[in-house]
Structure 1
Amino acid sequence: MKLLRRFLDAIYSGAGALAALCLIAILLLIVAQMVARWSGNVFPGAASYAGYAMAGASFLAFANALSRGAHIRVSILLNALSEGPRRLLEIWCFGLAAAIACYFTHYAYWFVYWSWKFKEVSQDQDATLLWIPQSVMVIGGAILALALIDNLLHVLIRGRHRIERDLLDQSFGE
């Protein structure tokens, strides 16, 4: 079980690291586009690539943010409940969220499949095959679904979720 736990945590952290790389890619694309404009050149497709990287950063960061407690959770109700009702509410919340994430990932997969099958390309200057950036959406959705199922099983078996509260991040919002 410890090996599985380390593997899942590595997947969540790895997806978070890839999301950070996507943010760095956005920065580099914007700087490259600015330099191209200043020098009188054009960087075709830079805005599209930055958009693809933004989608990648968003979807890849979901599971990592969940495991680190960075998602917005309204816990005022959970904190007011006793142990039994709190556990039932968390089971319901994680179950519903996992079902929605699985539903999204299933249909996103078929969306990407048909984009690949019909060889759809971007309408912008870059003419990128759309299944490539869309695949990141499926991968991120699948990792989020895995993280939600992981937390649901943890609540069912151990009685509490695995979300760590990041008090440092939370203190900036207060």
Structure 2
Amino acid sequence: MRDWQPFLGLPLWVWLFVLPALLALYCLWQGPKAVALLSPIWRLLDRLYKAAGVLAACFMVVILLLIVGQMIARWSSLTFPGSTEYAGYAMAATSFFALAYTLTQGGHIRVSVLLNLNRHTEFWLDAVAMFIAAITATYFARYAIKTNIMSEMLNDRTQGQDFVPEWLLTFFSMFANSPAKWGEMWAKTGSEWVYTPVWLPQLPMSIGTVLLAIAIWDYLTRLLAHRKSQIHGEVLE
């Protein structure tokens, strides 16, 4: 699990850690120039975080619908196989898709007792904390993706009663294969329902952690460029 394969001519650790750190140093050095240069990218990323938040809300609605479906099935003396597993998958998707958006809205718990000691050290302590968080989140995202890959390699399947249509697996598998293989993949796809492969419910975890890592690096650069935190939580009275 310690391999760092080259990606586009550079080791993966350079792309994940060195280049973002250099961008953060550039923002600290240039300040207003970095703000002017990166503002369009920041606006695009904000839309991406908001879209992930909307998707998380949609999965919350899915949880509600599954609960209602279970109630109706119980009242009707019917079975709803896999409903518990589907609800668990939806809950995990809600949690991970909401991570980045919650961060940008100041919804995560932040222990700020040291930040509030004085205004001189507040900026540097916040920057160091954000940098450590960015490194940690990047490692989390990398190994979440490796977990996805290992689950697919082992063909790990759920032990519950949940099933998914085979075409759904083919649809998601398209993103991991070249377009030249798409026709062959769909030709082999049947209409059966199969036990859920573990990598499918793990996808929201991988996507959510990647978005969280991007968001922390993003707001670290904003902090360094603006010289103050751009994460503003809602004031509750």
TM, length-normalised to structure 1 = 0.92
Please report how far the alpha carbon of residue 70 of structure 1 lies from its aligned counterpart in structure 2 after TM superposition. Answer: 1.0
Matches within 5 A, 1:1-174: 1-83=38-120, 85-126=121-162, 127-167=195-235, 170-171=236-237
Distance between the aligned counterparts of 2:228 and 2:143, measured in 1?
30
Please report how far the alpha carbon of residue 116 of structure 1 lies from its aligned counterpart in structure 2 after TM superposition. Answer: 1.4
Q: Please, which moves more after superposition, 144-153 or 1-10? A: 1-10
Task: Give the count of matched residue pairs.
Answer: 168
Unpaired segments of 5 or more residues in structure 1?
none
Larger CA Rg, structure 1 vs 2? 2
What fraction of aligned residue pairs are identical, expressed as a percent?
42
Distance between the aligned counterparts of 1:95 and 1:35, measured in 2?
49
**Conserved in 1, the CA contact under 8 Å of 2:106 and 2:233?**
yes
Please report how far the alpha carbon of residue 159 of structure 1 lies from its aligned counterpart in structure 2 after TM superposition. Answer: 1.2
Distance between the aligned counterparts of 1:78 and 1:136, measured in 2?
33
Please report how far the alpha carbon of residue 16 of structure 1 lies from its aligned counterpart in structure 2 after TM superposition. Answer: 0.4
Please report how far the alpha carbon of residue 137 of structure 1 lies from its aligned counterpart in structure 2 after TM superposition. Answer: 0.2
Which structure's residues are more often helix, by fraction?
1
- Structure 1 runs (4+) deviating above 6 angstroms are none
**Conserved in 1, the CA contact under 8 Å of 2:42 and 2:218?**
no
Q: Please, which moves more after superposition, 150-159 or 41-50? A: 150-159
Distance between the aligned counterparts of 2:62 and 2:97, measured in 1?
14
Question: Which one-letter code corresponds to 2:126 in the other structure?
Answer: E
Which structure's residues are more often strand, by fraction?
2
